[in-house]
Amino acid sequence: MTTLADYRNERLKKLEEIKSLGINPYPSKTSRSIKIKNLLENFAALENKEVSIAGRLVAIRSFGKIAFLKLRDDSGEVQVFMREPEVPSRESPEVTTEDEGARHPQRRAGATPCPERNFGFDLSRLKLLDTGDFIEATGTVGKSSTGEISVFTDFIKLLGKSLRPLPGRDGFTNKEERYRRRYVDMNVNPEVRDRLVRRSKFWQATRDFMNSKGFIEVNTPVLEHTTGGADATPFETHMNATGEDYYLRISQELPLKRLLGGGFEKVYDIGPRFRNEGVDDEHLPEHIAFESYAAYENYEDGMNLYEEMIKYVAKETWGTLKFNVSGFEIDLENGGKPWPRIKYADLLKEKFNIDVFNPDKTQLIKILKDNHVEAKNLENLSEARLIDHVWKLIRKTSAGPFWLVEEPLSLSPLAKTSEENPLVTERFHPIIAGTEMGNGYSELNDPIDQLERFRAQQSLRDAGDSEAQMLDEDFVEMLEYGMPPACGWGNSERNFWLLEGVSGREAVPFPIIKSLK
């Protein structure tokens, strides 16, 4: 049985032979003049003209005096048709027919032979190349006898020798191996690379939309002395330069709101955030997130804006507003009507007869146990945390789209209290296909109220709740200088994973995976 080591050794022998011929197997310069997609799309204008293409060699079929190669770059694949040169010798540039002169302008009468030809590959040297190698082919555009668009040449150049063969698609299906060697996965499974292209479109569409609405992108710090803006356990690190410990941010919220206090009116940030939690289909400890803040707007303004944004981004990324996700048939257009707005307390009362303003802890624990919720030490969790677990039971069965509004004060330490009902906040979540596709609220700008809520959260943290928020005295000080009323919003790339219909680890280029020791 031939092993990977056998294949590698064979290729190492070829590498040495290539070097012995005076050929550099890893040159820095190429002469590529066109990408493959552009060649294919503009065949009529390029037919009988010379081009230079470059890419990975994905197939080789040799038949004596001719060979068919398949070359791939990031835009597509094309055939390279190789044949023996029809000239008396390599040193003689004379041509025998007008047609050959047209197909090989470098060999027209009176032309000077290309010195690079002696350091490249014709049919006699083709055996030194393998699939996986990167090559350059310069030749004439035409069609083969079967009608396939091809580049006709008798000479190719090696750009990078591959020492390990790519596995076949059927032989590379183990998820752990695919995630560990993502660069191989992208070659064997082109849909993985295509998905990452859509991921880029997703974030570019977000930027385009926000910029069109007058927002300014500002990058905020990743390292923080005090982290906040979400209920999550942070990662910790140490900076040698200052001799201090830092947290990796769990949210961009508090720095962005400091910008509002500094005079900005519309700001956003797209970048990584870090939450020291488990890995599942909806969570990755490191992921890209988006947060934005608009002064002089409230949560009702926010729902109108971000409903428009979600639709715009979906249309730009996938070209549709209709999705089949996790068994849910979703239409973001909602028949042309605004998404419904459903109150948090009403929903929990309807589904489980829970009074969120006067919760019965025994009832909450029973509901969770009856529904097989796996959570450590349910009895030690606060009523607010238990209610949140019950809400997630409802969320998982909700198709949407709809806005969940007026979350209780105990669950929203940074949101502004409703003027109509002091027990709830002006907070909103879009619920789509069983998940929360974002989080927004009218921002709290009362420094006294904010300090009291921070202290309540810090008490929970001191009692052992590692996800409770920290007391950020500097943020409270900023509020004392004054911050205008504002609406804030955030969503992570979970939105992309959801509408793409894959898990988080499938949707990122290099997913978290335990190292091999």
We report the CATH number of the domain holding residue 41 as 2.40.50.140
Asked whether the bond before 447 is cis by omega within 30 degrees of 0, the reply is no
Residue 346 maps to a domain? no
Cα 70 from Cα 64, distance rounded (Å): 17
Contacts of 246 (CB under 8 A, 6+ apart): 223, 224, 225, 236, 237, 238, 239
Residue 374 maps to a domain? no
DSSP-assigned beta bridge partners for residue 137 = 53, 156
Are 22 and 45 in a shared domain?
yes
Task: State the DSSP code for 360.
Answer: -
Are 215 and 263 in a shared domain?
yes
pLDDT confidence of residue 104: 45
Q: State pTM to two decimals.
A: 0.88
DSSP H helix total and E strand total for the chain:
16, 20
Secondary structure of 437-472 in the HEC alphabet? Answer: CCEEEEECCCHHHHHHHHHHHHHHHHCCCCCCCCCC
Are 218 and 154 in a shared domain?
no
Contacts of 137 (CB under 8 A, 6+ apart): 52, 53, 54, 69, 71, 80, 151, 153, 156, 157
Are 54 and 201 in a shared domain?
no
Helix (H) or strand (E) holding 53: strand 50-63
pLDDT confidence of residue 116: 61
Residue 345 maps to a domain? no
Are 460 and 503 in a shared domain?
yes
Cα 60 from Cα 67, distance rounded (Å): 7
Are 301 and 188 in a shared domain?
yes
Are 117 and 264 in a shared domain?
no
Are 159 and 186 in a shared domain?
no
CA 452 to each of CA 227, 297, 366, 409, 422: distance values in angstroms, whole numbers, following the listed order: 17, 24, 31, 12, 15
Q: Would you tell me how many other CB atoms lie within 10 Å of the CB of residue 32? A: 16
Are 414 and 334 in a shared domain?
yes
The boundaries of the domain holding residue 19 are: 4-165
Residue 191 maps to a domain? yes
Through-space distance between the first and last CA atoms of the chain, rounded to whole angstroms: 27
DSSP-assigned beta bridge partners for residue 81 = 68, 152
Please identify, among 139, 165, 191, the residue that sits at the C-terminal boundary of a domain. 165
CA angle, 263 as apex, 310 and 299 as ends, to 5°?
A: 35
pLDDT in tens, the chain (517 residues): 889 999 999 999 999 999 999 999 999 999 999 999 999 999 999 999 999 999 999 999 999 899 999 999 999 999 999 998 865 443 433 333 334 444 444 443 334 445 566 668 999 999 999 999 999 999 999 999 999 999 999 999 999 999 999 998 887 888 999 999 999 999 999 999 999 999 999 999 999 999 999 999 999 999 999 988 888 899 999 999 999 999 999 999 999 999 999 999 999 999 999 999 888 877 899 999 999 999 999 999 999 999 999 999 999 999 999 999 989 999 999 999 999 999 999 999 999 999 999 999 999 999 999 998 876 678 888 898 899 999 999 999 999 999 999 999 888 877 899 989 999 999 999 999 999 999 999 999 999 999 998 898 888 888 888 778 888 999 999 999 999 999 999 999 999 999 999 999 999 999 988 888 7
Please identify, among 110, 143, 165, the residue that sits at the C-terminal boundary of a domain. 165
Please identify, among 165, 190, 225, the residue that sits at the C-terminal boundary of a domain. 165
DSSP-assigned beta bridge partners for residue 245 = 238
Are 121 and 260 in a shared domain?
no
Give the phi and the psi of residue 343 in degrees, each rounded to 5: -80, 140
In the chain, the largest separation of any two C-alpha atoms, in whole Å, equals 96
pLDDT confidence of residue 230: 83
